[in-house]
Every structure is written in C-alpha cells, then in structure tokens.
A and B are shown apart, each in its own frame.
Chain A
Amino acid sequence: MKPFSPRAFISPPSIRHGIRAHRRHYAVQAPGAPTLEVFSRSQKWLQKERAASNADVSRQADYLRDEVASRLCERLLDINRHFPKVLDLGANACNIAAALTRPNPDPDPSKPVSAPLANRIGELTCAESSRTLLHRDASLPFNSAIPIVREVLPTEEQLPYAANTFDAVISSLSLHWINDLPSVLSQINSILKPDAPFLGVMLGGDSLYELRTSLQLAELSLRGGVSTRTSPLADVRDVGGLLQSAGFKLLTVDVDDIIVEYPSSFALMADLQAMGESNAVLGREQGPIRRDVLVAAEAIYRELHAEGRQELPATFRLIYMIGWKEGPNQSKPLPRGSGMVSIKEILEGGGGDGGGGGKK
C-alpha cells in the first residue's frame, strides 16, 4: 500500500510564464501600538454564559463577588457626594447594584446605621458582555431599589460612551480578564467627568497560588512539563503605574487577601467554573485537565497547604484602586521637598509628642 501523502491535496504551484519584473520594497513596520491578546474573549464569554445559565449554582458561587462588591461600596461611602450617573463596568450579575441597596455596608456598632448608598445614585448603568449573566438577577427585589440600566457590551475593551459622561465608574472583579488594561483605563478616564472618581477591584498577584503550584507540581511529575492553568495577573506595583499612565490623579491602591476554605480542590475548581472564572488564557492547553493530574494535584494541595486540617485554603488577592480624573478645583499633592515636618521624626522620635500631633 502506498504511504499516505498530503501532496495529493495540495494544488500544484502555478506555473508563471514569462519573466516578471521583480520589484523591491522598503521594509515597513506597521505603526501603532501592538494589540495585546492574552485572554480569549470568546472563551470567557462562553464560560460566563454557561455558568449563568444555571442560575441556582451560579448564585451559590457568588459569595466572593458579593463580599468584594460590599467591600468596594464601603470605599464609595467615604466620598460624600451625589452621583447622577454611575457606570458599573464588567458588572457580572450586578453584584454591585445589590450591594449598593443594602442599608449598612460597614457594620460598625459605634457608628449610626447609614442609609443605602443607592439613595445617592441617580442612575446605575451595568455594562457586561455576557447577556445571561447580566440579566440573571433582573427579577430580584433589589432591582426596584435602585434605577438600573442593563447594557450588553460587545466587548469590554472598547467602551461605547462619550467623553465626560459619568460621575463615577466602578468595576468589580472583571478587570483581570481585560487584555489591554492600559487602554481600558485611559478610556475610563476619558468617559469620566472632571474630578470624578474611578473605583475598581481586580484579582491580582498571588491569587490562587496554592492551586497553581499544586497543578504545576502534579503536571511536572506526571507529564514532565507545565502548562498554563491560571491567568497571569497584575501585581500591586503595576497597578499604581497603570493608573498613573492612564492619567488618574490622587491614587489609592491597596491589597486585601480573602482566604476561602474548600473541602477539596475539586470543590474549588467547580466553584470557579460556576463563577465563570475558568481558565481563558489564549495559550492554554485545549481540552480538560487529565484526571490523573487532577488526582495528583489534590494530594499535593492537601500536603502542602492544608497544614493537617480537613479544609483546603484558597487565597484570593484583591487589588483595590481608586483614581480621580483631573479637575479644576481638585486638591493636588504638594511639590516635592516642600514638607516642613519630617515623618521620620514623628514615627521614631518621642512617641507622646508624635502621637498627639497625629490625633489633632
């Protein structure tokens, strides 16, 4: 039998008659910034649609988003303003809207109960690429407590809004799937009105390092190499620089670790899937993880991170960022070197004096 040859399927090279004048061109480099593609947007959209199509399971896995949304809204409580138009970018299931309608985001017995933040918001636009996830909670009671406009975006990377539209932009747990973060941040800066805040939170740094390392060790020992199982994430140091280069002023960046305990690594992965937060890196290996790798990863996870307990901890590192668009009457940081008091003296020299000064 003749060996299989692909040549039969390839059309023969066309024969050119005559001599063609060979023209030479200068080498040209295409202008403009290269478009960065790390995550597959269609894959992420599909994962979110699938996850939200099972509303009950999807709501059960919302603990992280709800908690983070309420922590983010606490930060909004500090800004004593009325916001006529607010954008929630990457709204997921409108978790921020639900958090805004709760009466007291900061349960502190020493402070009086604050009214829900929704009273200070004129209109909340929830923008999200996945229609099913966005409309999952559209029939729940919180929708009547806050004026919501749900808007499905074809992509979260190009915002279809005019400049100077919003009095605040909020984004909770979706910026970590954005391919071109610098561009999106400067778009946010441009759609904000002058002297308006952007409050965001994204997963970053060492999120899910336990799962990542145990999958890597399992794949190393069983297959002799590693493949991408978790996203590359931005670090805290990067975020400050990104906000600054997008033109934001008066930056605040801080980090918060939420450690969730799971009965097994399988439960963790099932919950990530129900959140629609499965792996969507473009260079990922297609198809599911092999079962023997999963079994080995579970054993390694338990040995390295459980510390003798039954539950497996999983770390979610949240990077909160607040930036303000430049405005005319905004307070500005003083020029470098204009300080009259050395902070070193306050922190080190004379605890009583420094402490008293701090309390004034």
Chain B
Amino acid sequence: MPPAGKTRPLERLASASAVYGKCIAADFNNVQKDKCMTEFLKLKECYMAAYKKR
C-alpha cells in the first residue's frame, strides 16, 4: 500500500471504503453494534479529508 500522503484523498477514500465494506460483508449475518469500528473511523477520516472546506 502506498504511503497515505502520496495518494489523492478520493483514491484513499475508495480503498478505505472497500476495506470497510469487506469487513462488514465478510460476516453480514452477524453484525452487531461497533463492528468494524476501526475501519469505519478510517473511512470517516477519508471523507472528512476529501470533502473538507477549503
């Protein structure tokens, strides 16, 4: 994986989205609260970075 600073925010967002999606989809019959929270927080950070006000 390339270092975080080198890629553009939207590309990082796509990969973080895929990581979170895979984490939920791996066992989607057994989802409870706060499952995949670390992955989600990373995804949220990416969204915040991509859509932050300049």
Give residues in A with beta carbon < 8 Å to B: 217-218, 220-224, 292, 295-296, 298-300, 302-304
Q: Which of A298, A302, A304 is the one whose CB lies under 8 Å from B28?
A: A304
- Judge whether A296 and B28 touch: CB under 8 Å: no
3 cross-chain pairs, A with B, having the tightest CB-CB distances, nearest first:
A303-B21, A224-B33, A299-B17
Verify A296–B32 contact, CB threshold 8 A.
Answer: no
* B24: A residues at CB distance < 8 A: 217-218, 221, 296, 299-300, 303
CB of B21 within 8 A of CB of A221, answer no
Is B33 within 8 A of A300, CB to CB? no
The answer to whether B31 touches A217 (Cβ under 8 A) is yes
Indicate with 1 or 0, residue by residue over B24-54, a CB within 8 angstroms of chain A CB atoms: 1100100111111100100110010000000
Q: Which of B22, B37, B40, B47 is the one whose CB lies under 8 Å from A303?
A: B22
CB-nearest residue of chain B to A221: B35
User: In the complex, which of the residues B18, B22, B40, B47 contacts A221, with contact meaning CB atoms closer than 8 Å?
Assistant: B40
List of B residues within 8 angstroms of A217 by Cβ? 24, 28, 31
Is the CB–CB distance between B20 and A299 below 8 Å? yes
> What's the minimum C-beta distance from B30 to chain A, rounded to whole angstroms?
10
Point out the residues of chain B lying under 8 angstroms from A302, CB to CB. 17-18, 21
Contact of A296 among B20, B33, B34 (CB under 8 A): B20
Pick 9 A–B contacts, CB within 8 A, sort by A: A217-B24, A217-B31, A221-B33, A224-B34, A295-B47, A299-B18, A299-B20, A302-B21, A303-B18
Taking the closest CB of chain A, its distance from the CB of B21, in whole angstroms, is 3
- With a 10 A CB-CB cut-off, give which of B28, B32, B47 has the most chain A CB atoms: B28
Q: In the complex, which range does the number of interface residues on chain B fall in?
A: 10 to 19
Binding site for A on B (CB under 8 A): 17-18, 20-22, 24-25, 28, 31-37, 40, 43-44, 47
Q: Is the CB of B43 within 8 A of A220?
A: no
List of B residues within 8 angstroms of A299 by Cβ? 17-18, 20-21, 24, 43
State A70–B16 Cα separation when bound (angstroms).
42
Partner of B32 from A221, A298, A303, A304 at Cβ < 8 Å = A221
When distances are taken between beta carbons in the complex, the residues of chain A under 8 Å from B35 are 220-221
For A292, the closest partner residue in chain B by CB is: B44
Contacts of A296 in B (CB 8 A): 20, 24, 40, 43
B26's closest neighbor in chain A, by CB? A303
State in angstroms the CA–CA spacing of A220 and B28 once bound together.
10
CB–CB A224/B32 < 8 A: yes
Cβ contact within 8 Å between B17 and A298: yes
Given A295-B47, A303-B18, 18 additional A-B pairs, CB 8 A: A218-B24, A221-B31, A221-B33, A221-B37, A222-B40, A223-B33, A224-B32, A292-B40, A295-B44, A296-B43, A298-B17, A299-B24, A299-B43, A300-B21, A300-B25, A302-B18, A302-B21, A304-B21
- Which A residues are in CB contact (< 8 Å) with B33? 220-224
Q: Which residues of B contact A224 (CB under 8 A)?
A: 32-34
Cα(A217)–Cα(B36), bound, Å = 12
The residue on B at minimum CB distance from A306 is B21
- For B20, list chain A residues within 8 Å (CB): 296, 299-300
Q: How far is the CB of A224 from chain B (nearest CB, A)?
A: 3
Q: Chain B nearest CB: distance from A330 CB in Å? A: 50
Question: Do residues B43 and A221 form an inter-chain contact, with CB atoms below 8 A?
Answer: no
Measured in the bound complex, the distance between the Cα atoms of B22 and A292 in whole Å is 17
Nearest residue in A to B34 (C-beta to C-beta)?
A221
Q: Which one of B17, B37, B44 has the greatest number of beta carbons of chain A within 10 Å?
A: B17
Min CB distance A298 to B, Å, is 7
Roughly how many angstroms separate A91 CA and B28 CA in the complex, as a whole number?
Answer: 40
- Residue contact B21 to A220, C-beta cutoff 8 Å: no
Contact residues in B for A304 (Cβ distance below 8 Å): 21, 25, 28
- In the complex, how many angstroms separate the beta carbon of A290 from the nearest chain B beta carbon? 12
Q: Pick the most buried of B18, B31, B32, B35: most chain A CB atoms within 10 A of its CB.
A: B31
